[in-house]
Every structure is written in C-alpha cells, then in structure tokens.
Amino acid sequence: VLRVYKAAVQQTLDILFLPEGREFLTSTDAVSRDSADRTIIAWDFQSAAKISNQIFHERYTCPSLALHPKESMFVAQTNGNYMALFSAQRPYRINKKKRYEGHKVEGFAVGCEFSPDGTLLVTGSSDGKVFFYNYHTSRIIRTLSAHKEACVSAIFHPVLPSLLATCDWAGEIKIWQ
C-alpha cells in the first residue's frame, strides 16, 4: 500500500483519475436529508488531501463517473435519473445547461461512458434499455432494448469502437455492433 485516503463517508462507489493523474475524484453515497456535500470528492494524489467536497450539491448519489476522452469534462451518473456534466479542472463546476435525461436508474449502480471519439455518451437503464446521447446537444439519439433485467453497464470496446458490451443485473453480457 502506497497511500491511504480517508473520506470519512459511508462507501465509495467509483474512482476517476483526472488527466495527468495528479488529482482524482471519488463518488460516495454520503447523502442525507439535509446535506449533499461529499457526494463527489476531489483528491490530491500526492498528498492524499481533499481538494473539494462541494462539487455536486444535489441530493443524489452518483454511482458512476466517466471522463471525456478529448475535452476536460467528466460526467456523473446520478440516482436522480440523469447524468450531470462537470469541468474536469478546478473548481470542477457543473454545466447547468446540459443534463442527459430519459433513462432510469431507480437505485441501481448504472454505469456510463463516452465513446472513444467523445461524440456519444452511453448508459444503461433500470428498464433494460441502453441510451445513446449526443454529447454536444445532450439529446437521446438512439435506444436499444438490450436486456430483460436492469442494464447496469454499457462500454465501448477499446480497439474496435463499433462494438459495445452491455450487461444486466442478472449477469447476462451481450456484445453489440
């Protein structure tokens, strides 16, 4: 073990290294009735110090974080049935003009990811569908009825970007072209 980072929260749901690796983000389920601080925490990699715990102010957990491959942005899947877009540079401001809505999370740890070229954002949905969003307009451009159970992950192949893998709550994995 090289370092230990203590968030003093319930559980960490996801970890996302920012470009160059000097900082990283974690998402937690530390949401209470009257406070949403610590939902997304920014950390300094070298010192293990918290940089910010005031990034996301809504009262939803964020089970998944994804970094845009070309722009200094990241997205957080929320349990509020939308994905929120943030700057990946301090002070990590939310883009209040863009929300990726239409899919359902309903308590599942649904993942999200950008396409390798950064033009698409893909996510699963608790109703078994896969949603493709245009990154720039935040509009749904396609849905697939992928699974009978909740689709908890959709991820592009790293070498063959026309392939997409999905999986559901029951353990079924599908490859799509």
pLDDT digits (tens, 9 = 90+) for 117-160: 999 999 999 999 999 999 999 999 999 999 999 999 999 998 99
DSSP result, the chain: --------SS-EEEEEEPGGGSEEEEEE----SS--TTSEEEEETTT--EEES-S--SS----EEEE-SSSSEEEEEETTTEEEEEESSTT--EEEEEEEES---TTS---EEE-TTSSEEEEE-TTSEEEEEETTT--EEEEEE--SS-EEEEEE-SS-TT-EEEEETTS-EEEE-
What is the structure's pLDDT at 12? 87
| Fold topology of 11-176 | Methylamine Dehydrogenase; Chain H (2.130.10)
Domain ranges of the chain: 11-176
Checking if the pLDDT of 32 tops 70, the result is no
